[in-house]
Amino acid sequence: MRAAGKGRFAGKADPTAAKFSRSVHFDQRLAKHDLEGSRAHATMLGRVGVLTRSEVSAIVRGLDRMEREIAAGKFRWKDSLEDVHMNLEAALTEKVPAGAKLHTGRSRNDQVATDLRLWIREQIAGDLEAIRNLQKALLQLGEKHQEVILPGYTHLQRGQPVTLAHHFLAYVEMLERDHGRLVDAAKRADVMPLGSGALAGSTLRLNREIPRKLLKFGQLSRNSMDAVSDRDFLVEYLGAVALTGVHLSRLAEDLILFSSAEFAFVKFGEGFTTGSSLMPQKRNPDMAELVRGKSGRLIGHLVSLLTVLKGLPLTYNRDLQEDKECVFDAADTIRSSLEVMARAVASLEVDAGACLYAVSSPELLATDVADALVRAGLPFRKAHQVVGAAVRHAEGAGTRIDRLSRQVWESLASGMGRVVEEVLAGSPVTRLKRALHARSSVVGAPSLSGVQKELKQWKKRVQ
């Protein structure tokens, strides 16, 4: 069937054209929202006198029945009816004659824009919850291993000691920004296009406030031409989830590295790893790898939609039908990635000993030694030079900076031997704890007490 019905066209669409353009196999995902929009539209048509009361109630009952059929998987979708909108309208009209009046003052252009906005509102609500769940899993991991110290890296070279909780709290922060971006995207989606018609509203005296209230939209769109062709809200969603996906990919990468034998800081629960078909000993972090890999699709979908939009003249063009598959796939991809990550993180076992071993080299406290020299009066550049020279000296002598004699330090910076010892003395655990404690007064630094406070605040926030 053609949207224009039998009127304008004498014959049928070319079969390749029909197959090429149909969308019902993917846009039936909007059925629930389409029915919701139709109920609101019918109710409004009744209130403004286009439909009689009994016509409205017959239509609404018919739509309700169809919703139950769809939920039960009993609705018969017809490819020949092109898209979700025409399928639902045709099925209604088959049973309820007044269904033929439902499309009064409405176009599929404002209809599909409304459906998508209803759909994304629901989608984002679920995504926000999934983000919270991953944050909770990261917080629980941090809480359970509050005392675990490991190296913080730059350039993937050991830099300075941090706590495991501090490391994973970094991801809690990223996810919080993702959360904020999605909340923001939802605000911009909270505008109702219904009533904009094909592009220029209607000559019928529609009351747009009625469906706006019924559908719980915050605002009415204020320009009918913009309303039917605006897909910014989908771009914003794709942007937000692409970045969320990039964050998940970085987390996945950290966990893949950390779970390798080279690091051996963590171990994924068995359920989140796979064996090799050839190498019997393998335990591969496939879930994390897939999360990392799937972020590529998310980035691609953002670029796809931007590209679809960039050359479009106002107003609606059929190109816009290409918005759905990328947005639906992005929605499924980000949701499943968040869910599997939350569970994989919860499954992690931490090897505190391996972390300590990696962080116990005294060279990781080189910056702390330089800071101590600064406190004792040396300009930082000089202090940096002194410690650098000490590291080089130790390397040449086949030893480590905590084993250099006081004379060596005195020869590099006279009167500073004691100052250096105060930083490097004691067992690795003692001096590392001292080093973290020394960071207590700096907001955002990984002191044990600071991190503990952060964990507490985050826990309250994500509940």
Residues that bind ligand ARG in the complex, under the rule CB under 6 A: 3, 23, 27, 83, 108-109, 112, 316, 318, 320-321
Unique residue bearing structure tokens 């066209």: 9
276 catalytic? Reply is: yes
Specify the residue, 27 or 178, whose C-beta has the smaller distance to ligand ARG.
27
Specify the residue, 110 or 368, whose C-beta has the smaller distance to ligand ARG.
110
- Could you tell me the smallest distance in angstroms from the CB atom of residue 312 to ligand ARG? 12
229 catalytic? Reply is: no
- Could you tell me the smallest distance in angstroms from the CB atom of residue 222 to ligand ARG? 21
Specify the residue, 33 or 132, whose C-beta has the smaller distance to ligand ARG.
33
- Could you tell me the smallest distance in angstroms from the CB atom of residue 105 to ligand ARG? 16
Q: Which of 21, 276, 405, 411 is catalytic?
A: 276
Judge if the upstream peptide bond of residue 104 is cis by omega within 30 degrees of 0. Answer: no
How far is 219 from 212, CA to CA, in rounded Å? 7
- Could you tell me the smallest distance in angstroms from the CB atom of residue 116 to ligand ARG? 8
- Could you tell me the smallest distance in angstroms from the CB atom of residue 322 to ligand ARG? 8
- Could you tell me the smallest distance in angstroms from the CB atom of residue 20 to ligand ARG? 13
Specify the residue, 109 or 133, whose C-beta has the smaller distance to ligand ARG.
109
The sign of the dihedral angle between the CA atoms of 304, 85, 112, 234 is negative
DSSP string, 7-69: HH-SSPPPHHHHHHH--HHHHGGGHHHHHHHHHHHHHHHHHTTSS-HHHHHHHHHHHHHHHHH
The set of residues, in sequence order, having a beta carbon less than 8 Å from that of 305 and lying 6+ positions away, is 231, 234, 235, 238, 322, 323, 326, 327
**Cα 69–70–74 angle (5° rounding)?**
60
Unique residue bearing structure tokens 């045709």: 90
Specify the residue, 238 or 423, whose C-beta has the smaller distance to ligand ARG.
238
How far is 458 from 440, CA to CA, in rounded Å? 18
Specify the residue, 106 or 167, whose C-beta has the smaller distance to ligand ARG.
106
How far is 309 from 315, CA to CA, in rounded Å? 11
Two tokens, residue 66: 């169809």
How far is 454 from 163, CA to CA, in rounded Å? 12
Is 27 within 8 Å of 318 (Cβ atoms)?
no
How far is 385 from 391, CA to CA, in rounded Å? 10
Catalytic site positions: 155, 276
